[in-house]
Amino acid sequence: MPHFPAPVVSRLPNVGTTIFTVMSRLAQECDAINLSQGFPDFNAEPELFDRVHHWMKSGANQYAPMAGCLPLRAAVADKVAALYGTLYDVEHEVTITAGATQALFTAVAALVHPGDEVIVFEPVYDSYGPAIELAGGKVVRMGLTAPDYRPDWSAVAAAIGPRTRMIMINSPHNPTATLWSEEDLDQLAVLTAGTGIVVVSDEVYEHIVFDGVPHRSCASHPGLAERSVIVSSFGKTYHITGWKVGYVVAPRALMAEFRKVHQFNVFTVNTPVQLALADYMADAQRHLGLAAFYQAKRDHFRAGLAGSGFELLPSAGTYFQLVRYGKLSTLPDTQFCDWLTREVGVAAIPVSAFFADGRDEGVIRFCFAKNEATLDAACDRLRRLGGCRA
């Protein structure tokens, strides 16, 4: 076996295999029900697949324009205008990406310089920190604390300094299933007004909000739209996470920088899928009906956990449910999730994985983007925990 002649100096020395991969692999090994990784176990509507097949058969199999197929960019711009009231120029302010993670990475790579500081909110989705570090930036972490996980705006104000280049936000929030309010956006706008700070707003769960509370997008806030790179995901919206297609909207000056990087780390995205998505978006109910669809699953899952011994935290958006397990175990959350997978047959994610220091608040995350039969089987196993402790 060949050996590299010198030690490899890692640019991400503290990064290992993601917790999502670890828990999904363990679930497979243990034949457990996988409620850990955030993906559905059901398909999109057949009409979407039919449109992909149509465009493949029609010969749309070569490179799309770097920014994305015009019909899809136009559909995105129309949707954003209808929902949030901001008109983005299709030619210069909308880009189709290879999923949201690529969009987030590209935004950081394009706009963060070595030594710049980037504020993130913990628990934080695991791709933010590595993207910032690879760009030479410094991660500045603002803590969100259970059970409400609200931003402390006085702490954010104190953290902003001359090196602050970017603030990355995520609402609806993964993993906490919370929503930012209009007041939160107002506070963020006040803190960034008159500065060169860019906001990267991860809104991939924008259509999965519950109990009649609307999603507040940075696109809907004039003071933030002018400085925000807004990221969303067709994968989350149309149950096609494996297709890895998303989009970005941003003011022209920011998008020009974004595209400089995008053209070299991806260049473009699957052509027939883009055209199919453009056709599919013509029926707005396909995204507008998503809130009711997932609220029914949330309510079904929460009802199924009654008597399980878990304390359910509020789930205001996304397709995740956080629970406390203190009545069932004193194990650290990572060990509890391992035990739960091996001994009970249900896989979850320890929320400590979303903190750089591994802070453990005794909270784990379940994904309820599953068929009712899957949820029922998982809840049946979890309810048996009511009388036992790990």
Residue 86's pLDDT is 97
Q: Measuring CA to CA, how many Å separate 79 from each of 76, 93, 206, 273? A: 5, 14, 12, 18
Cα 230 to Cα 223: distance, rounded to the nearest angstrom: 14
Cα 169 to Cα 272: distance, rounded to the nearest angstrom: 31
Residue 177 gets the label, from left (phi > 0), alpha (psi -120 to 50) or beta, of: left
Residue 348's pLDDT is 97
Cα 367 to Cα 171: distance, rounded to the nearest angstrom: 17
Cα 374 to Cα 366: distance, rounded to the nearest angstrom: 12
Q: What are the structural domain ranges in the chain?
A: 19-44+288-387, 60-286
Residue 5's pLDDT is 80
Domain 19-44+288-387: give its CATH code: 3.90.1150.10
User: For domain 60-286, which CATH number applies: 3.40.50.1450, 3.60.20.10, 3.40.640.10, 3.40.50.2300?
Assistant: 3.40.640.10
The secondary structure of 220-280 as a DSSP string is G-HHHHTTEEEEEEHHHHHT-GGG--EEEE--HHHHHHHHHHHHHHT----HHHHHHHHHH
In the chain the beta strands, taken as DSSP E runs, fall at 33-34, 94-97, 117-122, 138-143, 164-170, 198-202, 228-233, 246-249, 311-312, 320-324, 346-347, 349-350, 363-367
Q: Which long-range contacts (CB under 8 A, 24 or more apart) does 37-40 make?
A: 37/349, 37/367, 38/174, 38/241, 38/318, 38/319, 38/320, 38/367, 38/369, 39/241, 39/242, 39/367, 39/369, 40/239, 40/241, 40/319, 40/369, 40/370
Phi, psi of 16 (to 5 degrees): -120, -155
CB distance 182 to 199 below 8 Å: no
Cα 263 to Cα 274: distance, rounded to the nearest angstrom: 17
Residue 387's pLDDT is 56
Q: What is the pLDDT of residues 27-69, one digit of tens each?
A: 999 999 999 988 899 999 999 999 999 999 999 999 999 999 9
Phi, psi of 8 (to 5 degrees): -85, 125
Residue 7's pLDDT is 84
Q: What is the pLDDT of residues 255-285, one digit of tens each?
A: 999 999 999 999 999 999 999 999 999 999 9
- Those residues whose C-beta lies under 8 Å from the C-beta of residue 322, and which sit 6 or more positions away, are 146, 175, 176, 177, 312, 313, 315, 351, 363, 364, 365, 366
Cα 269 to Cα 266: distance, rounded to the nearest angstrom: 7
Please give the structure tokens belonging to residue 175: 């993993």
pLDDT, tens digit only, all 390 positions of the chain: 777 788 889 999 988 888 888 999 999 999 999 999 888 999 999 999 999 999 999 999 999 999 999 999 999 999 999 999 999 999 999 999 999 999 999 999 999 999 999 999 999 999 999 999 999 999 999 999 888 999 999 999 999 999 999 999 999 999 999 999 999 999 999 999 999 999 999 999 999 999 999 999 999 999 999 999 999 999 999 999 999 999 999 999 999 999 999 999 999 999 999 999 999 999 999 999 999 999 999 999 999 999 999 999 999 999 999 999 999 999 999 999 999 999 999 999 999 999 999 999 999 999 999 999 999 999 999 999 865 666
Side chain identity at residue 140, one-letter code:
V
Packed helices 46-57 and 271-280: angle between N→C axes, nearest 10 degrees: 130
| Continuous segment of H or E residues that includes residue 53 | helix 46-57
CA-atom Rg of the chain in angstroms: 21
